[in-house]
């Protein structure tokens, strides 16, 4: 199947079926979704509806049982582990709900790690700048155990942005935070997103968080039941049962992020 090369993310008939207690359990059931470059999409739905599974498939952390995943026109669900790891390293940032910082590395080393993996010799300087951007310039040599939950989450955000990813996937990035710290982390994500032109898919239970995204999809029992475009409707993700690929692909004529970006969208 041909894919929309102008789209950041294109999911087609995505399914995930797992064996459970002697029978097959359908976790995702035919997800169609196109996300334009530079777009932000919130994924909302009850516990167990498949949100984290969806994010893991987009990141290539997991393989679908059916359907396809294209990232910038490249099909990733059939890619070798090596190629996938390389693509993920440079293009996809992931913010885990539980932070997943490495406990034996300082904040600075955690943020520098993805840069070092891409062979960037200025990893430490870049990491320091990002930590300053998230308000942790004074905490660079702290280990995760010496940081508060909100500070750890901000380090995780800085780390996800450190390789300057084209796509940032965040699984309930404010789920463990009080509302003020949560807002801080969201502001941060939004600031970094608009500065870097990053495409963002954000899983959340929080209506306020969801309302900030340009579009929203609601999952139930592994299906998209509602899709909603906000103010940026012209640039919103398209999704739906069978209809997603017949709809106009908004980024096609733009060819770039709708927000002012620090770099081109075509790398």
Residue 146 binds: one of ligand ATP, Mg ion, none (C-beta under 5 to 8 A by kind): none
- Tell the smallest beta-carbon distance from residue 213 to Mg ion (Å): 17
Residue 47 binds: one of Mg ion, ligand ATP, none (C-beta under 5 to 8 A by kind): ligand ATP
Q: Binding residues for ligand ATP, per CB under 6 A?
A: 18, 20, 25, 27, 45, 47-53
Residue 50 binds: one of ligand ATP, Mg ion, none (C-beta under 5 to 8 A by kind): ligand ATP
Please list every residue from 88 through 107 that binds Mg ion, using CB under 5 A. none
DSSP 63: -
Dist CA 216 CA 210 (whole Å): 7
Q: Which of 5, 111, 14 is nearest to 60 (CA)?
A: 14
Cβ proximity to ligand ATP, 77 vs 164, nearer residue: 77
In the complex, residue closest to Mg ion by CB: 52
- Tell the smallest beta-carbon distance from residue 226 to ligand ATP (Å): 15
Q: Site for Mg ion (CB under 5 A): which residue of 3, 40, 49, 52?
A: 52
| Alpha helices by DSSP H, 3-95 | 51-58, 81-91
Q: Is 198 in the site for Mg ion (CB under 5 A)?
A: no
- Piece of the chain touching Mg ion by CB under 5 A; list 49-57, 162-170, 190-198, 251-259: 49-57
Long-range pairs for 242-249: beta carbons < 8 A, 24 or more residues apart = 242/32, 243/32, 244/12, 244/32, 244/33, 244/34, 245/4, 245/12, 245/32, 245/34, 247/34, 249/4, 249/6, 249/7, 249/34, 249/36
- Tell the smallest beta-carbon distance from residue 25 to ligand ATP (Å): 6
- Helix H or strand E encompassing 23: strand 23-36
DSSP string of 108-122, one letter each residue: HHHHHHHHHHTT-TT
The residues that touch Mg ion, with contacts defined as CB under 5 A, are: 52
């Amino acid at each position: 199947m041909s894919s929309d090369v102008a789209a950041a993310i294109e999911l087609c008939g995505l399914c995930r079926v797992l064996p459970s207690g002697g029978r097959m359990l359908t976790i995702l059931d035919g997800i169609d979704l196109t996300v334009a470059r530079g777009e932000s999409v919130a994924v909302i739905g009850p516990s167990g509806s498949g949100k984290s599974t969806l994010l893991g498939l987009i990141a290539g952390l997991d393989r679908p049982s059916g359907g396809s995943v294209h990232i910038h026109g490249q099909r990733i669900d059939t890619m070798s582990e090596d190629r996938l790891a390389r693509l993920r390293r440079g293009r996809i940032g992931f913010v885990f709900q539980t932070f997943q910082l490495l406990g034996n590395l300082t904040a600075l080393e955690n943020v520098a790690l993805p840069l070092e993996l891409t062979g960037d010799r200025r990893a430490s300087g870049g990491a320091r700048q990002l930590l300053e951007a998230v308000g942790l310039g004074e905490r660079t040599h702290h280990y995760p155990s010496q940081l508060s939950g909100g500070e750890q989450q901000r380090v995780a955000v800085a780390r996800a942005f450190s390789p300057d990813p084209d796509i940032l996937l965040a699984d309930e990035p404010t789920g463990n935070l009080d509302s003020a710290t949560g807002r801080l982390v969201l502001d941060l994500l939004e600031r970094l997103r608009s500065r870097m032109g990053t495409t963002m898919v954000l899983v959340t239970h929080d209506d306020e968080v969801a309302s900030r995204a340009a579009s929203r999809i609601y999952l139930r029992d592994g299906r998209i039941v509602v899709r909603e475009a906000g103010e940026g409707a012209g640039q919103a993700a398209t999704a739906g049962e069978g209809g997603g690929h017949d709809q106009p692909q908004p980024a096609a004529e733009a060819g770039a992020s709708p927000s002012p970006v620090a770099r081109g969208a075509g790398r």
